[in-house]
Amino acid sequence: CVLRFTAEGLEMLMEGVPPAMIENTAKMAGMPVGPLSLSDEVALDLVLKIMKATEADLGPNAIDQTQKKLLVEMVEKQGRFGRKNGKGFYDYPEKGKGQKSLWSELSGLQPKHLDPDTLDVEELKQRFLVVQAVEAARTVEDHVITDPREADVGSILGFGFAPFTGGTLSYIDFMGTRKFVELCHKLEAKYGSRFTPPKLLIEMAAKGETFYGRFPPKKLAAA
């Protein structure tokens, strides 16, 4: 799920959303850090390595080629690996010498630039949370997760999914599966298949079900 979060940040960057707006909107949505900052923490050379491995295994359509081009430029040409070498999407000063700041030349690598006044901040926030929640729903459909609490607790403690929502599946439940699926289809039409709701979620929406209703948490055995 967290990789979906960082990938969505890169997608916005390629769309022309200002880098600072990407970071601030993610934090407004409830995430502890922005996706560009998190990518720096993971290490950009590692992200690029994963992207190349995915492409080798599944073909060129399995990854976003514009994102790959950006990372190739940053890692292989600019030598920007992330926090570990003091420069990535952010510039990192020596310890005790100030705060990190977004790389001043980052906007020059964007293929286009959008006017921030024309952007829907609420939709940007939704994209960050919905793309992660859809992935969580897929893990339930694939029987990777069988207890909703595992997904909720794991998403909050594991990668800081907006705590006020209660977690990825609670985010869907509180919104209502029908309303969530409608939002997925809206975002899917504008931004692509990463927002396509899984069949399980569509079925639950048709029945008005929730994750905690359909998959009640397992009771602990008596000591």
29 and 103 share one domain: yes
Helix (H) or strand (E) holding 91: strand 90-91
- What share of the chain has pLDDT > 70, as a percent? 97
Confirm whether 34 is domain-assigned.
yes
Domain boundary among the residues 114, 141, 168 is at: 114
91 and 177 share one domain: no
Confirm whether 47 is domain-assigned.
yes
Could you read off the pLDDT of 129-145 as tens digits, one per residue? 999 999 999 999 999 99
28 and 75 share one domain: yes
96 and 163 share one domain: no
Q: What is the mean pLDDT of residues 99-124?
A: 96
What pLDDT, on a 0 to 100 scale, did the predictor assign at position 222? Answer: 47
- pLDDT grade for 219, boundaries at 50, 70 and 90: low
Instruction: Provide the domain limits for residue 196.
Output: 121-214
Task: Give the CATH number for residue 149.
Answer: 1.10.1040.50
Query: Is the four-CA dihedral 30, 17, 182, 152 of positive or negative sign?
Result: negative
Q: How far is residue 65 from each of residues 46, 69, 182, 207, measured CA to CA in Å? A: 16, 6, 29, 39
As a whole number of angstroms, the distance between CA 149 and CA 155 comes to 10
Q: Which residues make Cβ contacts (< 8 Å) with residue 140, sequence separation at least 6?
A: 146, 148, 151, 169, 200, 211, 215
- In this predicted structure, the answer to whether residue 44 has a pLDDT above a threshold of 60 is yes
Confirm whether 8 is domain-assigned.
no
Query: Is the four-CA dihedral 76, 78, 80, 86 of positive or negative sign?
Result: positive
Q: Report how many domains make up the chain.
A: 2
Confirm whether 166 is domain-assigned.
yes
Could you read off the pLDDT of 154-180 as tens digits, one per residue? 999 998 999 999 999 999 999 999 999
Q: What is the pTM of this model?
A: 0.92
